[in-house]
Amino acid sequence: MNITQSERLFHKACNVMPGGVNSPVRAFQSVGGNPLFLKKGYGSRVWDVDENEYIDYVGSWGPLIFGHAHSQIVDALKRQVGLGTSYGAPTELEIELAEQVVSLVPSLEVVRMVNSGTEAVMSAIRLARGVTSRDIIVKFEGCYHGHVDSMLVKAGSGLASLGIPECPGIVEDLAKNTLTLPFNNVKKLRELFDVEGDNIAGIIVEPIGGNMGVVPPKSGFLEALREVTKKTGSILIFDEVMTGFRVALGGAQSLYNISPDLTCLGKVIGGGLPVGAYGGSKQLMDNISPMGSIYQAGTLSGNPLAMTAGIEMLKLLSAPSVYDNLEYKSEKLCAGYKLNVEKLGISACFNRVGSMFSMFFTDQDVVDFESAKSSNTKFFQSYFNALLEEGVYIAPSQFEAGFMSAVHTNEEIEQTIDANYKALQKAYS
């Protein structure tokens, strides 16, 4: 039997990289088979090394809200690259992106650029612990906050897909300072804060769960987080690495009208280049070095190429009706999926906020990690592989969000709905 180019490359990759990948979610472990090796992306499409073309709903796991190789971003990068790729000194580009970010995200006055979402979270947690002189951080089951040591506790998709209950190498003393609660559960939140509130440095939350599949906050949940943290002097951290500039220009905090103390950003803010950021009020952020004593640094932070891509991305997103358009198309796709599922008599739960969506193969409402895990992952595996054969590329896990981009066409959405029907039918038989 002939092997594909992807298979050939995967075998080579496995010799020099752990599992052949640089991020475990890229491996096809939970769906069987080998990952596709991609060589080109344009608009809403990607091409693999075997010349197969796919409609892409991964979008680099969220950043590419304007699709691949958008001309405005590519042209700006071409202009910048000839001027040097890194200086390690301040540039006007950093001011421009920071000004855009603080003007768009309601709770931000001051922002520090880093290189990934993980770094943003790590730094925000350090700041929360530093200013409160407390150790405990509260997180929610199924929320992922990057591979920060103290956050790799019940951390959702990547670990859930691979069936990793807990991560070796995390110092017990650190893990014990991370308390976890079920997402959307206000009762347990209040019980914990009644007892431990004065020892809690902060709460970190994905305001819309995105790493156990999409799980929107129930009405009152985010409000309760704001209330208990205010009362106990703990820091409320919104991890908007996925939701920032994705569900609205001002992120989930503008959608639900809640003002966190600190916000973490990533993904979309980099326009496809590695950028993360964290920020809050000037008063709080002035505790960061060089103003304050809480140290955080980065050789490539605020990198001119990365800033350039971010600036162009935010300009594109600031055009009129971008988000209305994303909403319309995402609703259309999910409505089509829903109809398919009903026609075939398959149980599924659909969760969507704006252009991030999930179809869970379960008959339960998915409101937290427990209910997400009731999904039939074996069925997902068959569905995923059948969908790939139909030319549609989604994340290889039941516990990941799908992402619509501004450049998907109505025709492509109809094509995807057809492909979804065929793939469901095939998985069902």
> Which residues are identified as catalytic?
144, 239, 267
Q: Is 422 exposed, middle or buried (0-12, 13-18, 19+ CB in 10 A)?
A: middle
Q: Count residues binding ligand PLP (CB under 6 A).
A: 15
Q: Which is nearer to ligand PLP, 159 or 413 (CB)?
A: 159
Among 101, 121, 152, 262, binds ligand PLP (CB under 6 A): 121
| Whether the Cβ atoms of residue 286 and residue 292 lie closer than 8 Å to each other | yes
Concatenated DSSP letters for 84-130? -S--SS--HHHHHHHHHHHHHSTT-SEEEEESSHHHHHHHHHHHHHH
Q: Which is nearer to ligand PLP, 56 or 239 (CB)?
A: 239
Helix (H/G/I), strand (E/B), else coil: 339: helix
Decide if residue 395 touches ligand PLP (CB under 6 A). Answer: no
Q: Which is nearer to ligand PLP, 164 or 339 (CB)?
A: 164
| Whether the Cβ atoms of residue 2 and residue 32 lie closer than 8 Å to each other | no
Angle, alpha carbons 205-207-209 (nearest 5°):
85
Decide if residue 206 touches ligand PLP (CB under 6 A). Answer: yes
Q: Which is nearer to ligand PLP, 252 or 285 (CB)?
A: 252
Q: Write out the two tokens for 428.
A: 């069902």
Q: Which is nearer to ligand PLP, 268 or 366 (CB)?
A: 268
Decide if residue 400 touches ligand PLP (CB under 6 A). Answer: no
Q: Using CB positions, name the residue nearest to ligand PLP.
A: 117
Q: In degrees rounded to 5, what are phi and psi of residue 40? A: -160, 145
Decide if residue 263 touches ligand PLP (CB under 6 A). Answer: no
Decide if residue 239 touches ligand PLP (CB under 6 A). Answer: yes
Q: Could you tell me where the beta strands, DSSP code E, fall in 266-401? A: 276-280, 349-353, 356-360, 392-393
Decide if residue 266 touches ligand PLP (CB under 6 A). Answer: yes
Decide if residue 154 touches ligand PLP (CB under 6 A). Answer: no
Q: In degrees rounded to 5, what are phi and psi of residue 417? A: -65, -40
List Cβ neighbours of 156 (8 Å cut-off, separation of 6 or more): 141, 142, 143, 144, 209, 211, 212, 369, 399
CB of 419 to ligand PLP, least distance (A): 26
CB of 120 to ligand PLP, least distance (A): 7
Decide if residue 355 touches ligand PLP (CB under 6 A). Answer: no
Q: Which is nearer to ligand PLP, 239 or 412 (CB)?
A: 239
Q: Which is nearer to ligand PLP, 141 or 412 (CB)?
A: 141
Helix (H/G/I), strand (E/B), else coil: 238: strand
Among 111, 122, 241, 248, binds ligand PLP (CB under 6 A): 241
Q: Residue 248's beta-bridge partner residues?
A: 244
Q: Which residue has the tokens 């039939």?
A: 376
Angle, alpha carbons 396-402-404 (nearest 5°):
140
CB of 61 to ligand PLP, least distance (A): 6
Among 68, 126, 139, 145, binds ligand PLP (CB under 6 A): 145
Decide if residue 210 touches ligand PLP (CB under 6 A). Answer: yes
Among 97, 192, 242, 317, binds ligand PLP (CB under 6 A): 242
Binding span for ligand PLP by CB under 6 A among 66-74, 141-149, 338-346, 402-410: 141-149
CA distances (Å), origin 83, targets 115, 306, 335: 20, 13, 47
CA distance 23 to 145: 15
Q: Which is nearer to ligand PLP, 210 or 271 (CB)?
A: 210
Q: In degrees rounded to 5, what are phi and psi of residue 305? A: -70, -45
Binding span for ligand PLP by CB under 6 A among 26-34, 238-246, 297-305, 331-339: 238-246
Decide if residue 153 touches ligand PLP (CB under 6 A). Answer: no
Binding to ligand PLP, residues 90-119 (CB under 6 A): 116-118
Decide if residue 397 touches ligand PLP (CB under 6 A). Answer: no
* Contacts with ligand PLP, residue ranges (CB under 6 A): 116-118, 121, 144-146, 206, 210-211, 239, 241-242, 266, 276
